[in-house]
Amino acid sequence: MPGTTTGRLLSFKLERWHRRSVYATGILLLLSGAAWLVLHYFLRPVTEFGESVNPLEPWAMKLHGAAAMAALFFVGSLLHHHVRRALRAGRNALTGWAMIATLSFLTLTGYGLYYVAGEGDRPVWSLLHWSVGFAVAVLFVAHVLVGRRSVHD
| Contact between 29 and 36 (Cβ < 8 Å) | no
Number of H helices, E strands in the chain: 5, 4
Q: Encode 133-145: b = buried (16+ Cβ within 10 Å), e = exposed.
A: beebeebbeebbe
Provide the residue ranges of all domains of the chain, joining segments of one domain with +.
91-153
pLDDT tens track for 69-94 = 999 999 999 988 888 888 888 888 89
Q: Is the pLDDT of residue 136 over 90?
A: yes
Least confident of 11-20, 56-65, 94-103: 11-20
Phi, psi of 50 (to 5 degrees): 110, -165
